[in-house]
Amino acid sequence: MLLYNTQTRKKEEFQPITPGKVGIYACGPTVYNYFHIGNARAFIFFDVVRRYFTYRGYEVTYVQNITDIDDKIIAQANEENISFTLVAEKYTRAFLDDTSALGIKPPTYQPKATEVMDDIIAFIAELEKKGYAYEVEGDVYFATENLPSYGCLSGKKTEEQLAGARVMENYNKRHPADFTLWKKGKPGEPVWESPWGKGRPGWHTECVVMSQKYLGETFDIHCGGIDLIFPHHENELAQAMAYSGKPLANYWMHNGFLNVDGEKMSKSLKNFFTARDILAEYDAESIRFFFLSKHYRSPIDFSRELMEESQRAVANLYSSLAEINYPENAENRRPTVCGTAQELQNLEQEFILAMDDDFNTAKAISLLFELNRKVKNTSATMADRISAAIKMVELGSVLGFFQNLEAKLKQKMPDLSKDLICLILSYRKEARDKKDWALADKIRNDLAQLGIEIKDTPEGVKWTLKEKK
């Protein structure tokens, strides 16, 4: 399996720290508002990374944090005139609801920054002891000049870097690139007791502590959006190197930017959409299809035209399953012929090769549609069509499609073919009511020739798709 490592800027063969296991840390939300569709791209893609490792037989520990104390949360609390805890609780619930609606699996662990405050304070104290942190009037900073490797993730030289914090430059710093580990509390702000006085932690320190608490000093994969490479991930890595002399993660993965109709998403341009906004217009699998139809490292352009194309593509997959009365017929399928079985095995191997090549989900989706064509092939036996459908659902599930399949088929597929069968059966019922047994039998026999078997039961007529005679 090859992964593109942001730190080395090349694809590398994935070698887990512990054979058969993989530890992944994905940067989660800062819960001050609803997350936008650019965030949704990261959350959906790394959900697929987690699913694929599981499919390949790994035991996955997937950690995603929630940043529940930050400048933006405090600003939102002031704007809404409520406490920061209420803001964090409100938007944490919204995040969990929206990621669930997008079909994203809950992480193995989902720590909050406020839950690890003692660990954060101890971590900063150790950096100070080692000479990598200094305190000025209650604020504590990381001394970037004391770490020769600083900048190795982003490729930025220390003298070229801007302040690595979410606040304006502070002239108490020894170097402009030094970033805040601990912020002195201001009147009206939430604070915690510390050796440097009352205050709260910096964003970068929160994440490094939470990741190491659940995954160890060095873990396999750290991931997030490309906008997090600098300063956030750079500063996480710097603290880990200073603390233990070891890298925080062996592989760094970052997804590309999202634009809207060719322009950067911005509230001022009125093209800013939250995931919640888009979920109100499109189903979750269409959103997932849109993001996965392009390679994760490439920029992607959001438009309603592309979303509608994605919606039609997903509907096509479900339509194929409905045509063969899936999953009912899959439960009693007949064996496929050897040639078809080999074709399906070959397609699965192509799927694995695509995903093993730095998660080429666009290629993987194209293979789903090759399987879909086999499902739609009416000249094939029903057994072969059902086998192709089973494989399509199996591989599609790796990408997060076909969740709650039976319910969705019932909900989404009142398609024409089903309606026509029901219409024909209503004509047969009229014939039986009139005791026109010849016409009723002819309808039964004609449907059987099309592979549709009907049974008259006390509860009414039942029909299933069978292999054509």
The annotated binding site for ATP is made up of: 267
Residue 291: name the closest of 1, 46, 10 by CA.
46
Q: Where are the beta strands (DSSP E) in 246-381?
A: 249-255, 258-260, 263-264, 300-302
| Half-sphere exposure at residue 156, Cβ-oriented, CA atoms within 13 angstroms | 17
Q: Which residues are annotated as a binding site?
A: 27, 207, 232, 236, 267
Residue 104: name the closest of 292, 269, 234, 280 by CA.
292
Q: What does DSSP assign to residue 160?
A: G
Q: Look at the alpha carbons of 380, 386, 387, 391 in this order and tell me if their dihedral is positive or negative.
A: positive
Q: Which residues pair with 25 in a beta bridge?
A: 63, 222
Distance CA 280, CA 236 (A): 36
Torsion angles phi and psi, residue 171, rounded to 5: -75, -5
Task: Work out the number of other CB atoms within 10 angstroms of the CB of residue 398.
Answer: 20
Q: Which residues are annotated as a binding site for Zn(2+)?
A: 27, 207, 232, 236
Q: What does DSSP assign to residue 262?
A: T
Torsion angles phi and psi, residue 212, rounded to 5: -70, -30
Burial class (CB in 10 A: 0-12, 13-18, 19+), 449: exposed
Long-range contacts of 374-377 (CB under 8 A, 24+ apart): 374/340, 374/343, 374/344, 375/320, 375/321, 375/323, 375/324, 376/320, 376/323
